[in-house]
Amino acid sequence: MFKTVQEAAALASGIKEGLKKTGLPDCPEHEVVLAPNFVCLAAVSGIIKGSPLVLAAQNLYWEKEGAFTGEVSAGMLKSAGCAYVIIGHSERRLYFNETDEQLNKKIKAALSAGLKVIFCVGETGKERKENRTFPVVERQVTQGLNGIAETALASLVIAYEPVWAIGTGINATPEQAQEVHAYIRSLIERLFSRRVAEGVTIQYGGSVNPANSEALMAQKDIDGALVGGASLKAESFLEIIQKGLQ
């Protein structure tokens, strides 16, 4: 929950201009996705049109329309220019008590509307201390993807973001992150197929910054980063992007 419309427009413009120096347009296997708050979507969409940047929303509701004041549907996001939507962010799970069942409905609604999904999973600090990281992540992935067709996984990114690393400045070590990413990939193979598991994009999120992003993204099963605070300044976000292209 950052940035007014004017501030978000300025940030998007700065990222757009800075991307010209990174070589991203020549790297079709990479994507840079911006996920501003709802009121900034239209403004940012207009600024990044025609650039390599892609627009995402931070959340949605699973119904198409109706008496759900304050909620936003997948179709509304599409009309605002979104290609992606983030579902199940740790803050949504933690502060708004979103359940695995609700997130499953959101994923299905997004995919049905033609949106790509960034699906977030991750354990709390207490769960990690109790050695419950793998069971928690397995439950979140299994229940979140319940009833999702194997073909739909091509439109889904999984983001591992341990709750204890969100906004704390404490990130998982590259080795800790790689261990969970490898587990998620093996879980996807078990639930779907080896082909799907090898092709699915799994990102790390949780206090990613220019100082740690290169070591994190060098890990075998870490395919990218879900960046929070470091994306609020064009300079730091562009540095992370540049390191991700190396």
- Tell the residue number behind the tokens 């082909």, with chain if given: 195
Catalytic residues, by residue number, are 89, 161
Collapsing DSSP states into helix, strand and coil, what is residue 120?
strand
DSSP per residue over 175-244, as a string? HHHHHHHHHHHHHHHHHT-HHHHHH-EEEEESS--TTTHHHHHTSTT--EEE-SGGGGSHHHHHHHHHHH
For the stretch 113-126, what's the b/e string if a residue is b when 16 or more beta carbons lie within 10 angstroms of its beta carbon?
bebbbbbbbbbbee
